[in-house]
């Protein structure tokens, strides 16, 4: 039901704060949206309001999110709110998707061709590994993360070198310079460049900046607390002096400092925009009050930028359980038995339960316990669909079609399946390409004029090159209607199915080939739904592989997830395990702990972020929340004595329930087995 007055197409069930956030249009607006307070609803209703009642055209409104899933959900909601004609041209996407669109249009301005490649983290790491000539994964990832943080802070190689204070930073700065040169040679960008390069061009080119500011007449940004310096600058440049934007965020859920996000961006808005309108959403529509009170109590120990307290009309709810358990194995078994019992008693489904933990390492023992109890489960943060070897093999061909200067894709495609191109041939080809400053693919057609390769070495290269050229010419010439046909012909010509069955046992080959078929089906569907050419598809896939990975189904299974991966999700019943000092709050590696001990400010900042992570975990629960901690936990083959996390006492539980005593504590082995069988029979 909606009101029939100015601004009156808004739903009647919007609360006062939500209504104010939707209708405010007199300049920049910051909506502080607590967990479960309906922030997505506010954003979508505001877009509908702009389109229906404020005369905005869809093509002049941009809404930015951090995941494809969030963008998709937002788009679907908007489609249900407004006429399709009104929403025509509306942009709802991630920061990085907008960056791709920008770079496609402005490629010439930054010496990129429109068919540039987008390198994911694996591709980038391979370049860094080659530059460092090491297999030390920790060292490689540290350099990669440092370069990423520099890019997100808008620091180029020269500035990074000037700011490098430690030997590891100096090494990263040297690699950064060569890494950038390699990307340029490949006509490629990495994930961070998708925002950094548009920002740099908008800053330097007045004509480009004015054109985009005219296009983006109203901007909405979700999860603003997760923005980094580069993304903050992008918002400023797109909105200009007009500053017509709404930022929605929650300083209490800022948990991504390790990847460059800065919660200070929320505070910066108050200083950079004197006329900023601040609106707080404090009514929670997700959880019972006991859970919210515990969350409020924990986060109150942080120096909050903005004071807010969540409240709910869902009633008090059940007491929060706290369980002390002897070991991590016993903890995992207890969680499994508790879920089995509660599922039966509450007439719930498996998907109603989630087990959240701080570190991925905690998942192993939990998985083992659930398997033993025959409890179905899914694990968040496992191997991505797009990281599977067979998927990367197929995508290498597609990427090469788009950008023949993409040397990593060339190497993967020309050697998989095997076609007589060995390491010796590739080495000679690589040396020739480097000498002449050209790509490996281009070198194929020039090295034949020399005597550097024997005919038997040259022939498979030339055959491969001619094949790619034929498919590429067709992909560039034909439109979206031909995408499915081109994909089928490409896979057939590669002979990838035969390759799998020739190199693997039948079961493995069948599973991997099914993954390839799933990929093809998904690509064809995207091509049809969004009218994408094969060229468009490749850049779309690059974004999906990094932002969304693959569309996860929602099977009837218990969800195992890290606290970081659980953000934005909710479950009726949540078990938060390993709530111990040293694990939650987590202090990092031993060498990190030494650094933190020597720097009180750094230690305080770490604990504050961990406290926000605890807050996120608590607020995932809708009806019940149960915490557990171990008196001893296995670490590096040793049993380490643990203490309950400071966050448990900070929850302010008047009388924390011991989550019911272990029903099997005094059982004999036979009685224990019978109890397990009984629970399994119930399910």
Residues catalogued as catalytic: 39-40, 222-223, 253, 620
Which secondary-structure segment (H or E) carries 99? Answer: helix 95-106
Separation between Cα atoms, residue 213 and residue 243, nearest integer Å: 10
Q: Which residues pair with 279 in a beta bridge?
A: 31
Strands (E), 9-144: 29-33, 61-65, 91-94, 117-119
Beta strands in 291-360 (DSSP E): 311-312, 321-325, 353-357
Distance CA 396, CA 406 (A): 9
Is the separation of the CB atoms in 277 and 14 below 8 Å?
A: no
Cβ–Cβ < 8 Å for 356, 561: yes
- 3-state SS assignment for residue 113: coil
Q: How far is the C-alpha of 568 from the C-alpha of 52, rounded, in Å? A: 29
Integer Cα distance of 97 and 101 in angstroms:
6
Helix, strand, coil fractions of the chain, as percent rounded to 5 = 60, 15, 30
Cis peptide before 502 (omega within 30 of 0): no
Annotate 212-250 with b (16+ C-beta within 10 A) or e (fewer). Answer: bbeebbbbbbbbbbbbbbbbbbbbbbbbeeebbbbbbbb
Q: In sequence order, what are the residues at sequence separation of 6 or more whose Cβ sits closer than 8 angstroms to the Cβ of residue 461? A: 414, 421, 425, 429, 444, 447, 453
Exposure of 541 by Cβ count < 10 A (0-12 exposed, 13-18 middle, 19+ buried)?
A: buried
**Residue 33 neighbours by CB distance under 10 Å:** 29
User: Can you say whether residue 648 is alpha, beta or left, with left for phi > 0 and alpha for psi between -120 and 50 degrees?
Assistant: alpha
* Strand extents, DSSP E, 173-252: 188-190, 218-221, 245-249
Q: How far apart are CA 526 and CA 533, in angstroms?
A: 10
Beta carbons of 374 and 389 less than 8 angstroms apart: no
Strands 571-576, 621-630: pairing kind: parallel
Nearest 10 degrees: CA dihedral of 549, 551, 554, 560?
0
Inter-residue contact 292 to 312 (CB < 8 Å):
yes
DSSP 155-176: --HHHHHHH--SHHHHHHHHHH
Could you give the 3-state DSSP secondary structure of residue 602? helix
The CA angle 99-535-59, to the nearest 5 degrees, is 45
């Amino acid at each position: 039901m909606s009101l029939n007055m100015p601004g009156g197409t808004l739903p009647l069930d919007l609360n006062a704060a939500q209504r104010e956030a939707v209708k405010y249009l007199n300049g920049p607006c910051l909506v502080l949206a607590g967990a479960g307070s309906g922030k997505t609803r506010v954003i979508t209703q505001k877009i509908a309001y702009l389109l229906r009642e404020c005369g905005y055209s869809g093509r002049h409104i941009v809404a930015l999110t951090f995941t494809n899933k969030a963008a998709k959900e937002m788009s679907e909601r908007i489609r249900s709110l407004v006429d399709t004609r009104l929403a025509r041209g509306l942009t709802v996407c991630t920061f990085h998707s907008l960056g791709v669109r920008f770079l496609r249009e402005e490629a010439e301005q930054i010496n990129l061709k429109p068919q540039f490649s987008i390198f994911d983290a694996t591709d980038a790491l391979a370049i860094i590994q080659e530059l460092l000539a090491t297999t030390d994964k920790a060292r490689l990832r540290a350099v990669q993360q440092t370069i990423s943080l520099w890019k997100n802070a808008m620091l180029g190689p020269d500035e990074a070198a000037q700011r490098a204070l430690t030997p590891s930073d100096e090494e990263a700065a040297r690699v950064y310079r060569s890494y950038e040169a390699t990307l340029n040679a490949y006509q490629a960008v990495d994930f961070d460049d998708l925002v950094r390069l548009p920002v740099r061009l908008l800053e330097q080119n007045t004509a480009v900046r004015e054109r985009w500011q005219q296009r983006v007449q109203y901007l909405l940004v979700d999860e603003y607390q997760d923005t980094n310096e580069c993304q903050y600058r992008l918002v400023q440049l797109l909105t200009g002096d007009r500053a017509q934007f709404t930022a929605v965020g929650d300083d209490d859920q800022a948990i991504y400092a390790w990847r460059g996000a800065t919660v200070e961006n929320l505070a910066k808005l108050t200083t950079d925009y004197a006329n900023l309108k601040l609106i707080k959403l404090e009514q929670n529509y997700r959880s019972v009050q006991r859970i919210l009170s515990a969350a409020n109590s924990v986060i109150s120990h942080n120096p909050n930028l903005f004071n807010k307290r969540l409240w709910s009309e869902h009633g008090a709810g059940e007491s929060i359980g706290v369980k002390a358990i002897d070991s991590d194995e016993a903890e995992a078994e207890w969680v499994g038995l508790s879920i089995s019992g509660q599922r039966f008693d509450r007439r719930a489904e498996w998907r109603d339960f989630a087990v959240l933990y701080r570190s991925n390492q905690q998942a192993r023992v939990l998985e083992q316990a659930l398997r033993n109890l025959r409890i179905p489960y899914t694990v968040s943060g496992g191997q991505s669909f797009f990281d599977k070897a067979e998927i990367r093999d197929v995508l290498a061909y597609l990427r090469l079609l788009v950008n023949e200067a993409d040397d990593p894709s060339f190497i993967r495609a020309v050697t998989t399946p095997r076609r007589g191109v060995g390491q010796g041939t590739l080495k000679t080809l690589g040396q020739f390409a480097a000498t002449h400053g050209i790509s490996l693919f281009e070198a194929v057609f020039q090295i034949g004029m020399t005597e550097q390769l024997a005919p038997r070495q040259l022939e498979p290269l030339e055959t491969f090159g001619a094949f790619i050229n034929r498919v590429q010419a067709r992909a560039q010439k034909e439109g979206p209607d031909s995408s499915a046909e081109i994909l089928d012909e490409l896979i057939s010509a590669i002979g990838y199915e035969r390759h799998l069955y020739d190199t693997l046992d039948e079961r493995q080959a069948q599973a991997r080939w099914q993954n390839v078929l799933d990929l093809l089906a998904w690509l064809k569907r995207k091509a049809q739904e969004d009218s994408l050419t094969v060229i468009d598809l490749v850049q779309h896939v690059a974004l999906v592989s990094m932002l969304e990975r693959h569309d996860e189904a929602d099977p009837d299974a218990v969800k195992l997830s890290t606290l970081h991966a659980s953000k934005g999700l909710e479950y009726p019943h949540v078990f938060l395990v390993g709530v111990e000092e040293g694990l939650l709050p987590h202090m990092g590696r031993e060498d990190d702990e030494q650094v933190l001990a020597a720097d009180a400010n750094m230690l305080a900042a770490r604990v504050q972020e961990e406290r926000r992570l605890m807050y996120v975990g608590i607020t995932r629960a809708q009806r019940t929340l149960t915490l557990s901690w171990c008196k001893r936990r296995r670490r590096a083959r040793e049993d380490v004595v643990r203490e309950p996390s400071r966050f448990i006492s900070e929850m302010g539980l008047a009388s924390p329930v011991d989550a019911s005593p272990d029903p099997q504590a005094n059982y004999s082995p036979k009685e224990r087995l019978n109890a397990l069988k009984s629970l399994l029979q119930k399910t």
